[in-house]
Every structure is written in structure tokens, then in C-alpha cells.
A and B are shown apart, each in its own frame.
Chain A
Amino acid sequence: MQADDATATAYEILAQGDYGPYIWGSYGIAAVALCGLLIWSILRTRALERRVSEQRRTIPADEDFR
């Protein structure tokens, strides 16, 4: 009985009163866009900072890397 109740609740949350595709579609778009932006920003920054560190090792006295 409890498993049936839990399944029914999970179904209700997924279905969202038959508006599930619109609601989950909205949350999905927001999640993909915002997480994608954040992940892309982090990866790009780390790659650039890695290149700066490598340059610093080859040109330690360069003013631009202080």
C-alpha cells in the first residue's frame, strides 16, 4: 500500500496535472542553459589559466604575468 502511495505521488509530481511536458520542459531548458553556461565558463577559465601558468614557467620575469 505504501509503495503504491509513493508511486502515485511520484506520478503526480511527474504529471503535474497533465501539464508535465510544459513544466518539466521549462525546468529542463533552464537547467541546461544555466548549467551549460556555468560549466563552459569554468572549463574555459581553467584552460586559459593553465596556459598562463605554462607561459609563466617559460617566462618567469615577464611583467604581464604578475
Chain B
Amino acid sequence: MTSEVDTHRVRPRRAVSVANPARFFRIANRLLPWLSATAAVLFAVGLYLALVESPPDRQQGETVRIMYVHVPAAWMALFVYVSMAIACFVGLVWRHGLAMMAARAAAPIGLVFTIVCLATGSLWGKPMWGAWWAWDARMTSVLVLAFFYLGYIALVDAFDDPARGQQSAAILCLVGVINVPIVKFSVDWFNTLHQPASVARLDGPTIHSSMLVPLLVMIAAFTVLFLVALVWRMRGLRAGAKLAAATANAAREA
């Protein structure tokens, strides 16, 4: 009885083959035009529904329309951070370069979503609460989230050795994950000015379909936009890595 492996019967797992960088970029580049078109259509439909078709709120009036950018931005801020944390975990444990690249590419996008969430929240808060800002649990924890994004972006480029920078930033990202449930459940745990959840609830959404449908369309639009931006940024990081490697090789040969 031999111990040789019959290579003709060994098939690569699908997950491993998709995680191959060359294959990933081939698939991503083919999907990019479709994703871009999908984002454009979703934004066109979502903005029309949000600004024209959806009704004003009984209490908040027309300012409820800010919800259609504020809530998607908030959800994406959390979604991107969780995605980054998963990618960082994969990168740290399995030393997967593509995962680390994805986290690094996603960070500025997540930061922009967080800033949009804070800014639109402030513009919503002024007419409704009479204040541009309040140090309540929800707003403060989202501000902390923004600081974690900034910390990650600063740390990843803070070392001469890129691998060490990515490793340190990944650890910071994982530490910051504790803030995600704080952001999500702050309106339940603390006596906050911010209203409680009305969509992502165990007993189902509590807002009318005339508002829920535009909101879901805008969330889908923001999500697809994130994917488009992520693919472009990952391509940029890959090109930057190639140039850096070539420069290092040229310096060694000189």
C-alpha cells in the first residue's frame, strides 16, 4: 500500500481558488462595470423615491428625508468596520495578503461613510433637537468608530516595514470591534437622545413600507457603491505594491 496521493482526484476547494489574488482581480474586473451600472440605477431609483415619492413624517415632517442618506451611511459605517475586522482576522491568522489588502482598501471608505453619518445626523439633529451635537451614547460611540478608522489608516502606513504596519493596524481594528455592538445597542442600553432602532429589530421593522422601500433601495445603493470603490482601491494597492517592489529591486541591483 503506497502513500502517494492521486493528484487527479484532488480538487482545489472553491473558497481557496477564489481567494487567489490573480483570480480575484480577474473576477472583480469583470464584475466592475456591472456593479457600477447597478449602483447608478439604484441611486437613481432610490433618490427619486426618497426625495419625491416618499411621504413626510407625521412628527418630523420633511426632515425625515435625511433618513435616506443618514441611515444607509450609518449601516455602511458599521458593515465596513465588521468586514475589515473579519479581513484582518483572516490576514493575521492565515497570513493572507489579499485579506489585509481588502481591509486596507476598505478603511477610507468606511471613514467616509462614518463622516457622512455624523454630518447628516448633525443636520437632522439641529431642526429636530435644536442642537448640532449632543454627547449621547449613540453619537459618541459613532465618533469613537471614526477615531478607530483614523487610527487604522494612520497605523497601517506608520512603519517602514509594510507588513508590520498592516499587522499593528489589524490588531487595532480587532480591538475596535468591541465598539460595534456599543454603537448598535447604545439606544437600548442608555437613556439617549437618539431614537431607538426602527428597522433592524427582532420583532420586525416598525416603519411604513412607503418609507421602508426607499430606505432599503438606498442601503442597497450604498452597499454596491462600497463594492465598486473597494475594487478600485484594491487595484490601486496592487499597482502600488508592484511599483514598490520594482523600486526596491532596482535599488538592490544598483
A residues touching B (Cβ–Cβ < 8 Å)? 13, 16-17, 19, 22-23, 25-27, 29-30, 33-34, 37-38, 41-42, 44-45, 48-49, 51-52, 55, 59, 62, 64-65
Contacts and interface: CB of A to CB of B under 8 A. Distances in A.
B7 interface: no
Contacts of B56: 17
For the residues of B in contact with A, the DSSP-based class is: helix
Contact of A62 (B63, B228, B246): B246
A23 B63 CA distance: 6
Interface of B: 47, 51-52, 56, 61-63, 65-66, 69-70, 73, 108-109, 112, 115-116, 119-120, 123-124, 126-127, 225, 228-229, 232-233, 235-236, 239-240, 242-243, 245-246, 249
CB-based closest 10 A-B pairs: A45-B236, A48-B239, A17-B62, A16-B62, A26-B120, A41-B232, A30-B69, A64-B245, A26-B66, A22-B123
For the residues of A in contact with B, the DSSP-based class is: helix
A45 B239 CA distance: 7
B226 to A, nearest CB: 9
Contact of B235 (A19, A25, A27, A49): A49
Nearest to B111: A37
B232 A38 contact: yes
B229 A13 contact: no
B246 A44 contact: no
Nearest to B241: A64
B65 A30 contact: no
B52 A26 contact: no
A48 B56 CA distance: 46
Contacts of B242: 52, 55, 64-65
Given A16-B65, A30-B120, A59-B246, 12 more contacts: A19-B62, A30-B116, A33-B115, A34-B225, A37-B108, A38-B229, A38-B232, A41-B229, A48-B239, A48-B243, A52-B243, A64-B245
